[in-house]
Amino acid sequence: MALIFRRLLTWTVFAIFLSTLVHARNSGLNPDSKPAKGNQCREIIVRKEWRDLSAADKARYIGAVKCMQALPASTHLPGVRTRFDDFQAVHVALMIEVHQVGQFYPWHRRMIQVYEQMLREDCGYTGAQPFWDWTRDADDSETIVNSPIFDPVFGFGGNGIDVPGWAGHFGNFTMIPGFTGGGCITDGPFASYNLSVGPGTIPTNHCLIRAFNPLALNYIRTPKIEQVLKEPTFERFRIETEGTPVTSDFRVHDGGHIAIGGEMIDRYSSPGDPLFYLHHTNLDRLWSTWQARDPKRRLKDISGYTTWEPPFTNITLDFKLKMDVLAPLVPIRDIMDIQAAPSCYKYAY
């Protein structure tokens, strides 16, 4: 028995050693973006889909988010009371700088990684940031109300109460059909947490609103995912996944926001819904899957303008991502590879 255990231990240590080597080799594919040296990870955490977490791990994640909602704020942005609000307010403050531009994907990757790090360092969470694999809900059913992500105990609570005629605005669309709900959520761990940042840019004391929209599931099914993973350049991948208002119809990024509705379709204050992080983590997973199909090229492929308005500048790997006082500036170069510091995570699938 002891011998078997010792062999197992030796094998585990050996396997960890081996995977370090393999990763060092992979990073070496990338000579002029210099990740190796200072960017090696001590540990790579594994991000899992929400329903693949154990009940205990779900409870630990929700507990850590509630911890963020009880910690004092670090920024001085309008409306903030807690650390959770800080992230929402940073997104409000930077909305125009980080959407429909080259830094859309890198900035959201960084935002989630800083959020994950705070859950771990300041709230004792030991797992990784979970993601919401849209296809698990959208492929088989016409309605998402039964999704485990909306479980009142082991999830984030359900739809808002019915507000007849609730109409959402997202991007250039003045009215999107198909919403249900539209009022305050009434169950789950976040029904008692009023937001103070948003809606939009105006700090207001308000409940978390949801408005499920089953029509949006058309945009987040497997065929759409397979289609965007075939895009040959980052430029096309970025536009074809971020969607409106750059594209005239919705894409996967829009689809997840609209499917949940309410605060989630507010382009400024959507991180007020804790599900924002599961949705955007899945978008990050999509980008990293796309990158992994041709790492030599795609770990360096970045493009797009840096602003909405002229004079236009093309983004480069040296462009610095900011997070107010929540984290130091990092150049895009440093977050291109999720398995290098400061990111240090991977996806379970």
Ligand X SMILES: *[C@@H]1O[C@H](CO)[C@@H](O)[C@H](O)[C@H]1NC(C)=O
Check residue 60 for interaction with ligand X (CB under 6 A).
no
* Residue of 51, 60, 66, 206 that binds ligand X (CB under 6 A): 206
In DSSP notation, 44-101 reads -EEE-BGGGS-HHHHHHHHHHHHHHTTSBP-S--TT--BHHHHHHHHHHHHHHHHSSS
The window from 58-66, 143-151, 200-208, 224-232 that contacts ligand X (CB under 6 A) reads 200-208
- Residue 243 CB, shortest distance to ligand X, in Å, is 10
Check residue 172 for interaction with ligand X (CB under 6 A).
yes
Both tokens of 325, joined, read 């006082």
Taking CB under 6 A as the rule, which mask of x and - marks residues 63-102 in contact with ligand X? Answer: ----------------------------------------
Please give the C-alpha separations between residue 13 and each of 221, 283, 290, 295, 341, in angstroms, as whole numbers: 40, 33, 31, 27, 21
The window from 16-24, 91-99, 205-213, 282-290 that contacts ligand X (CB under 6 A) reads 205-213
Check residue 194 for interaction with ligand X (CB under 6 A).
yes
Tell me if residue 313 falls in helix, strand or coil.
Answer: coil
Nearest CA to 50 among 122, 158, 128, 112?
128
Contact 340, 27 (CB under 8 A): yes
Strands, E, within the chain: which ranges? Answer: 45-47, 160-162, 168-170, 173-176, 182-185, 320-321, 330-331, 345-347
- Residue 184 CB, shortest distance to ligand X, in Å, is 6
DSSP bridge partners of 321: 330
* Residue of 141, 222, 248, 316 that binds ligand X (CB under 6 A): 248
Size of the site for ligand X (CB under 6 A): 10
Which one, 40 or 303, has the nearer CB to ligand X?
303
The window from 105-113, 142-150, 203-211, 276-284 that contacts ligand X (CB under 6 A) reads 203-211
Site for ligand X in 293-312 (CB under 6 A): 303
Residue 24: CB atoms within 10 Å: 12
The window from 130-138, 201-209, 217-225, 328-336 that contacts ligand X (CB under 6 A) reads 201-209
- Residue 44 CB, shortest distance to ligand X, in Å, is 33
Contact 181, 211 (CB under 8 A): yes
Check residue 233 for interaction with ligand X (CB under 6 A).
no
Is the C-alpha dihedral spanning 122, 127, 129, 134 positive or negative?
Answer: negative
Which one, 47 or 99, has the nearer CB to ligand X?
99
Check residue 207 for interaction with ligand X (CB under 6 A).
yes
Q: List contacts with ligand X (CB under 6 A).
A: 172, 184, 194, 205-207, 245, 248, 303, 314
